[in-house]
Chains A and B, each alone.
Chain A
Amino acid sequence: EPEVTQTPSHQVTQMGQEVILRCVPISNHLYFYWYRQILGQKVEFLVSFYNNEISEKSEIFDDQFSVERPDGSNFTLKIRSTKLEDSAMYFCAAGGGGSTNEKLFFGSGTQLSVL
């Protein structure tokens, strides 16, 4: 089964610092997503990315967040000035392509801890 790779698996940062979470999605997929899961809570949609632009974003995805896929391979989520409440597991996902069009493939996540 194809994989979505996320790095790092754990990231610790100080409040106010910028962080970049990285994902290498499946190359022949068309849509890319970021989700987050605060400890003990549900998995929440952040943003979807298609054709090199944001196709949809949630209310969580404010001006502190940005995404890009600069080289057609890596898909990154940047948080400009982290807050304590940004501490969560962040999942990258890819979908919309190949023979499993409706299925999302999730990475194993990056645990972000903001101190």
Chain B
Amino acid sequence: AQSVTQLGSHVSVSEGALVLLRCNYSSSVPPYLFWYVQYPNQGLQLLLKYTTGATLVKGINGFEAEFKKSETSFHLTKPSAHMSDAAEYFCAVSQNTGGFKTIFGAGTRLFVKA
């Protein structure tokens, strides 16, 4: 069975500061890992994904994440936060078992202070 744990339901950073959102996963097979962002009253938008290959993946809006198998982690980072980054971020895991049912973490709400 797969699961995702996001550490911290709320994270607050100042504008221009580093953003670090933590995600740990559990999977019995090589996972596919994702970060989605949800802005208020909107749907889910894919930020980035890891499937195979390079463990450092870059996504939209300056975000990146590193897959660390030894730590079963896929933390999301951004060097400099912008006010527009304020949103809910979901880490997710899936596997290729004939479909790609995706399991989501509980989400981390990012607040950006001016």
Give A residues with C-beta under 8 Å from B. 30-31, 33, 35, 41-45, 48, 50, 55-56, 91, 93, 95-96, 101-104, 106-109
Contact = CB atoms under 8 A, between A and B. Distances in A.
Contact of A104 (B96, B100, B106): B100
Given A31-B99, A56-B101, A42 B106 contact: yes
A102 B101 contact: no
Interface of B: 32, 34, 36, 42-46, 49, 51, 90, 94, 96, 98-107
Contact of B98 (A33, A43, A50): A50
A44 B107 CA distance: 11
B102 A42 contact: no
A95 B43 contact: no
Given A33-B101, A56-B99, A102-B100, A42 B43 contact: no
A48 B101 contact: yes
